[in-house]
């Protein structure tokens, strides 16, 4: 049979059509597989995160981003003051910053709106106090004191044989936790905490009050760095 | 013959098309409820991703602004001894607040998820959670850490930890999940001794046995910590 004979041409055409059908079928199968796999992939990536957790995460991220926006605005204002002013402006910016950081680090007495929480219990340990303090930080606390001991990260909350210590000093129950911050948010957190604590058999009393102005007089002393250097 | 072949091919194509439509309809009907759920989840995930992207951008912007302010303060301090003294004072306060990068001897602790196992105290105890991170950070500070960072995020005097389902959120940052690295600069020997003590971090130790949760650490003569890149605003606090 000659390669350009009508029979050979017909066979070639048939083969080509068959090949086209197979190619189309392959493409359809490929697209369908990709679609189904991508759906399955999304489902797999969500394993372990329920929608409620995601909603809380979104809420937290909104709040975090608002806080970052506020910080950006404050820093922009400081930068503009430094750019426009002379030495006087720089001194004012630096003095304001020093005052704010002393309060952040617990080096000076402070006051402001907040809550006072009282927990009377027998058998609560250092981890219980650490968790309570973390809940209050996460709930908008900006300055915290427990039984006249100032709390900041790095102040040790430890376990002694006869109870819980703050910075090496025993804090005997009842614990009075004073917190300055957004009183509304702190009130909600304290309410939840009180309910949970009252359900604990070890807890005799758990209560809180919201106040327009609470005072924290306790301070920590700054420890100089021995090992760390800036770079 | 050719017409017959064409007709048969067309028939195959029509049958394949009809089968495809029927199959697609069936698959769609079966996946309708899950795919609606997936769409809702996907929308939530997209929101999280957008917010995380905004968050990262804001933190970069904050770091940039702090750098600009530092340069302007430095310039002003060159013109006045009083300004220089104030600047030195603020630099010290910033270092203690975690606002400047630091380095020195220290340790790097790695916390990693275990595997699901016979679980009595909750469904996710094999996962590293924010309380594990909080406990390790507290231990390191109690044992002489002068600065700590978690997955590159600096701990400050006001740091708060939160999260759920194996997710760890620190301050205004985006969530982390296992493995989590906690780097600390300070008294390396004390920190290493504490981390070697089987009686510390009892909950983590118990879950190492039950769920193969992993806590490992290495000491180093030079650990570097980045500066804090988020907010340290305390709008409700005033000095007395």
| Residue A179 forms part of a structural domain | yes
Q: What CATH superfamily is the domain B101-225?
A: Protein of unknown function DUF881 (3.30.70.1880)
Interface test with A, best of B157, B192, B229 (most A CBs within 10 A): B157
pLDDT band at residue A21 under the 50/70/90 scheme: confident
Please identify, among A31, A47, A63, the residue that sits at the C-terminal boundary of a domain: A47
Q: What is the pLDDT of residue A42?
A: 45
pTM, 2 dp: 0.80
In this complex, the residue of A42, A226, A228 whose CB is nearest that of residue B42 is A42
pLDDT band at residue A44 under the 50/70/90 scheme: very low
Q: Under a CB-based contact definition with an 8 Å cutoff, are residues B41 and A54 in contact?
A: yes
DSSP characters over chain A? --TTSHHHHHHHHHHHHHHHHHHHHHHHHHHHHHHHHHHHHHHHHTTT--HHHHHHHHHHHHHHHHHHHHHHHHHHHHHHHHHH--HHHHHHHHHHHHHHHHHHTT-S-EEEEEEEEEEEESS--HHHHHHHHHHHHHTTEEEEEETTEEE-TTS-EEEETTEEEETTEE-PSSEEEEEEE-HHHHHHHHHHHHHHHHTSTTEEEEEEEEEEEEEE----PPPPPSS-EE-
Instruction: Single out the residue of A191, A170, A63 nearest to residue B160, CA to CA.
Output: A63
Which one has a higher pLDDT value, A202 or B6?
A: A202
Interface test with A, best of B6, B64, B96 (most A CBs within 10 A): B96
Q: How far is A55 from chain B (nearest CA, A)?
A: 7
Please, what's the b/e burial string for A177-211 (b: 16 or more CB within 10 A of its CB; e: otherwise)?
A: bbbbbbbeebbebbeebbeebeeeeebeebebeeb
Q: Under a CB-based contact definition with an 8 Å cutoff, are residues B203 and B86 in contact?
A: no
| Residue A224 forms part of a structural domain | no
Nearest CA in chain A to B45: A54
Q: Under a CB-based contact definition with an 8 Å cutoff, are residues B140 and A153 in contact?
A: no
Q: What is the pLDDT of residue B119?
A: 58
Residues of A in contact with B226 (CB under 8 A): none
The residue segments making up the domain with residue A199 are 110-216
B167 touches A at CB < 8 Å: yes
- Rounded Cα distance, A61 and A59, in Å: 5
| Residue A81 forms part of a structural domain | yes
For the domain that residue A122 is a member of, what is the CATH number?
A: 3.30.70.1880
Q: Which of residues 73-132 of B touch A (CB under 8 A)?
A: 73, 76-77, 79-80, 82-83, 86-87, 89-91, 93-97, 100-106, 124, 131
Q: How far is A80 from chain B (nearest CA, A)?
A: 9
| Residue A226 forms part of a structural domain | no
Nearest CA in chain A to B13: A21
| Token reading at B209 | 């046995």
Please, what's the b/e burial string for B193-220 (b: 16 or more CB within 10 A of its CB; e: otherwise)?
A: ebbeeeebbeebeebeebbebbbebeee
pLDDT band at residue B22 under the 50/70/90 scheme: confident
| Residue A68 forms part of a structural domain | yes
Is the CB of B44 less than 8 angstroms away from the CB of A86? no
Q: Which residues contact A199 (CB under 8 A, 6 or more apart)?
A: none
Q: Is the pLDDT of residue A45 over 50?
A: no
| Token reading at A212 | 């327009």
Q: Under a CB-based contact definition with an 8 Å cutoff, are residues A115 and A190 in contact?
A: yes
Q: Round the average pLDDT of chain A to a whole number and report it.
A: 89
Give the tens place of pLDDT for each residue, A163-183: 999 999 999 999 999 999 999
Residues of A in contact with B87 (CB under 8 A): 94
| Residue A95 forms part of a structural domain | yes
On whether both A174 and A147 belong to a single domain, the answer is: yes
Nearest CA in chain B to A10: B2
On whether both A38 and A90 belong to a single domain, the answer is: no
Is the CB of B44 less than 8 angstroms away from the CB of A51? yes
Q: What is the pLDDT of residue A41?
A: 47
% of chain A beyond a pLDDT of 70: 91
In this complex, the residue of A54, A181, A217 whose CB is nearest that of residue B48 is A54
Give the tens place of pLDDT for each residue, B157-193: 999 999 887 889 999 999 999 999 999 999 999 999 9
On whether both A195 and A140 belong to a single domain, the answer is: yes
On whether both A21 and A96 belong to a single domain, the answer is: no
On whether both A127 and A212 belong to a single domain, the answer is: yes
B12 touches A at CB < 8 Å: yes
Q: Which residues contact A5 (CB under 8 A, 6 or more apart)?
A: none
Is the CB of A142 less than 8 angstroms away from the CB of B234? yes
Q: Round the average pLDDT of chain B to a whole number and report it.
A: 90
On whether both A204 and A121 belong to a single domain, the answer is: yes
Nearest CA in chain B to A137: B160
Give the tens place of pLDDT for each residue, B29-86: 665 556 677 788 888 889 999 999 999 999 999 999 999 999 999 999 998 999 999 9
Please identify, among A14, A29, A47, the residue that sits at the C-terminal boundary of a domain: A47
| Residue A36 forms part of a structural domain | yes
Query: How many domains would you assign to chain A?
Result: 3
B63 touches A at CB < 8 Å: no
B55 touches A at CB < 8 Å: yes
Is the CB of B76 less than 8 angstroms away from the CB of A87? yes
| Residue A147 forms part of a structural domain | yes
In this complex, the residue of A75, A86, A229 whose CB is nearest that of residue B102 is A229
């Amino acid at each position: 049979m000659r390669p350009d004979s009508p029979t050979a041409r017909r066979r070639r055409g048939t083969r080509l059509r068959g090949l086209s059908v197979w190619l189309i079928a392959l493409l359809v199968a490929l697209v369908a597989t990709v679609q189904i796999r991508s759906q399955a992939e999304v489902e797999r990536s969500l394993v372990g995160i329920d929608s409620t957790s995601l909603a809380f995460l979104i809420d937290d991220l909104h709040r975090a981003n608002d806080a970052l926006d506020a910080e950006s605005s404050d820093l922009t204002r400081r930068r503009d003051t430094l750019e426009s002013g002379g030495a006087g402006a720089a001194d004012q910016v630096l003095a304001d910053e020093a005052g704010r950081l002393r309060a952040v680090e617990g080096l000076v007495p402070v006051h402001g709106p907040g809550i006072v929480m009282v927990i009377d219990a027998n058998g609560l340990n250092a981890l219980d106090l650490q968790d309570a303090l973390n809940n209050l930080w996460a709930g908008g606390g900006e300055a915290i004191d427990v039984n006249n001991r100032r709390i900041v990260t790095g102040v040790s909350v430890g376990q002694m044989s006869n109870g819980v210590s703050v910075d090496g000093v025993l804090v005997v129950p009842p614990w009075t936790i004073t917190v300055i911050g957004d009183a509304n948010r702190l009130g909600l957190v304290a309410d939840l905490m009180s309910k949970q604590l009252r359900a604990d058999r070890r807890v005799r009393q758990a209560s809180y009050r919201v106040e327009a102005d609470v005072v924290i007089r306790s301070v920590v002393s700054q420890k100089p760095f021995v090992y760390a250097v800036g770079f | 013959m050719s017409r017959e072949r064409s007709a048969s091919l067309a028939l195959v194509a029509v049958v394949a098309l009809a089968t495809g439509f029927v199959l697609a309809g069936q698959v769609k009907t079966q996946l309708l409820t899950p795919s609606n759920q997936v769409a809702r989840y996907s929308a939530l995930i997209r929101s999280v991703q957008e917010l995380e992207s905004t968050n990262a951008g804001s933190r970069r912007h904050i770091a940039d602004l702090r750098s600009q302010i530092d340069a302007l303060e430095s310039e002003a301090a060159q013109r006045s001894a009083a300004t220089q003294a104030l600047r030195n004072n603020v630099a010290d306060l910033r270092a203690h607040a975690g606002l400047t990068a630091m380095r020195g001897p220290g340790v790097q602790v790695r916390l990693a998820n275990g595997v699901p196992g016979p679980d009595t105290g909750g469904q996710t105890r094999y996962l590293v959670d924010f309380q594990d991170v909080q406990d390790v950070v507290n231990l390191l500070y109690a044992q002489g850490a002068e600065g700590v960072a978690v997955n590159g995020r600096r701990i400050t005097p006001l740091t708060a930890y939160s999260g759920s389902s194996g997710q760890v959120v620190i301050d205004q940052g985006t969530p982390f999940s296992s493995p989590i690295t906690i780097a600390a600069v300070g008294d390396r020997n004390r920190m290493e001794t504490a981390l070697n003590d089987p009686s510390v971090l009892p909950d983590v130790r118990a879950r190492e046995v039950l769920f193969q949760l992993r806590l490992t650490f290495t000491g180093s003569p030079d650990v570097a910590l980045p500066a804090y890149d988020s907010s340290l605003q305390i709008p409700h606090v005033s000095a007395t």
